[in-house]
Amino acid sequence: MFYVRIINNEVKQVWDTPPPAGEFGWKSAVEVRPSIVAHRQGYTAHRFDLTTDPVQIIWDTYEISVADRKVGMKANAKFVFQQVVNEQTSNVEIYDPAVIESARQVMLAKQTAIEAATTHEQLDALM
């Protein structure tokens, strides 16, 4: 349950706890959040329907393109490689250049496969 403060027909505050007693303009509110398909859709900024009681906080969705998803997946592959580099270089006693090179090759192969993908299904298979 949420609470929204409406002044001059405009939402000024949103709280998830009951508002202080005696303050004007507060109404109960609920979120309306449709289901999304993981990795293929996301939520946009919310909007309010002030004509309902309780007020509805409505989340719309958007489609994630294959191209945008590829960018994120390639960045993830690079991040995983960087974690290996950080671990290896943080302590000279465990440093092993072969581990770093192996991780680099895995990252490059993953990024190549991601770049070759043309559908969400192909990208799903790489996860």
Domain ranges of the chain: 2-63, 66-125
CA dist 87 → 75, 79, 84 (Å): 18, 12, 5
Segment 73-87 mean pLDDT: 96
pLDDT band (50, 70, 90) for residue 94 = confident
Burial of 35 (0-12, 13-18, 19+ CB in 10 A): exposed
Tokens representing 33 are 């959040």
H or E element, residue 13: strand 10-15
Name 29's Cβ contacts closer than 8 Å, sequence gap at least 6. 1, 2, 3, 4, 14, 48, 54, 55, 56, 57
Please tell me the predicted confidence (pLDDT) of residue 116: 97
| pLDDT tens digits, one per residue of 8-66 | 999 999 999 999 888 999 999 999 999 999 999 999 999 999 999 999 999 999 999 99
Burial of 27 (0-12, 13-18, 19+ CB in 10 A): middle
Q: Is the pTM of this model over 0.85?
A: no
Q: Please check the confidence at residue 77 and state whether its pLDDT lies above 90.
A: yes
- HSE-up of residue 119 (Cα within 13 Å, Cβ side): 3
Tokens representing 100 are 């770093």
